[in-house]
Chain A
Amino acid sequence: MTQDLIYSVTSLALFGCGFYGLLALPHILRKLLAINIMGVSVFMLLLATANHGTSIDPVPHAMVLTGIVVAVAGTALCLKLAVNINAIDQNERDSNHQ
């Protein structure tokens, strides 16, 4: 009962933190961390709502389980794109200088 409430409020506070990070931090890795923190907060809200004390709703659990794997895949893709753009950008700059 109170447990749900604690973690629901925590998740929303985490969401706010992540949102601020997404808006205000310039570095791409920090932005990705912020997005991941927002993802964690959404998972926490889902699981806190699924927990009814004695009975536990398995459907949100299954959703979160798939969500975690998809989140890590998306993060990896973003990271790869960032790394590639950085490499291309650098090559261009190097050739411009020469």
Chain B
Amino acid sequence: MVSNMFRKRSMAAGIAVLALGLAACAGGDSGDGETAGSGGGDEGDLISVGFSQVGAESGWRAANTKSIQDALTEEAGFDLSFSDAQQKQENQIQAIRSYIAQGVDYIAFSPVVESGWDSVLEEAKAADIPVILTDRAVDSEDTSLYVTFIGSDFVEEGKRIGEWVSENLGTEPINVVELQGTTGSAPAIDRKTGFEDAIEGNDNISVIASETGNFTRAEGKTVMEGFLQAYPDIDVVYAHNDDMGLGAIEAIEAAGKVPGQDIKVVTIDGVKDGMTALAEGKISYIVECNPLLGPDLAEIIKTLEEGGTVEPRIVTKDEAFDQEGAKAVLADRQY
């Protein structure tokens, strides 16, 4: 009897899902109509934007998400559809496809990894939907697949860290371990390259180990624990983001060493937790990677909407902080 009831229920649920799907299709059709400009149809003059975020893997990402959601509001003239890919490319491709099907006016996304975007971006191009990349790049050779890429220059960030390490710590022989970001992601590749370029001329610096900590605090800590066991003489930890650096600090403290003194930690990002650790002297140097891309994204879309053109590469302004600098800005840090 129970199973019978369930069969009926699941059928009802199935029908409901089907109905929803049909409704969504209908919405998409009207969007595809004569004016690609007015997307959703019933919203009238709002600009519909589909945004696919990487996930919520770090404090930086949370700040980035908030900035975009706060900038693309209805009051500002936008109708934002936001989706979280949970760090999976397939989720992101799916989200972009559904935005294309809905016929949104603009698609913006931060690609989880660099490669494998050509076919879905071609679909967007075929549907005449401009694509804006935020924060991370794609490696497509055909640059006409997207209008612009707005974000920090990751190579430059790695380079600035490398230069600081080289000038301030590389005056004597030091061993560096590196905590990489998600394998294959643009920031992980570029921050590694930039750092390597900057320390190339300095024979005092040797990078003795490099593993991925997947940009998360937990994995940063696990990997650092392993490093501490395998290499008794680590002088510097270079983490590709603050969260992994914070995880490494936990591991260093658990090993009975003092972060900032026995082992120096340098990171990229500058989120609030990282800046706090910097002010406390646990982190020695942070190169900022500005997450507040929302206002810039809104401006780009407005410009395009009015028929203007934008630069194919827009670099956001990043700062760098030492302990004194962190203390000065920490009080009114929003993220």
Are A and B bound to each other? no
A interface residues, Cβ below 8 angstroms from B: none
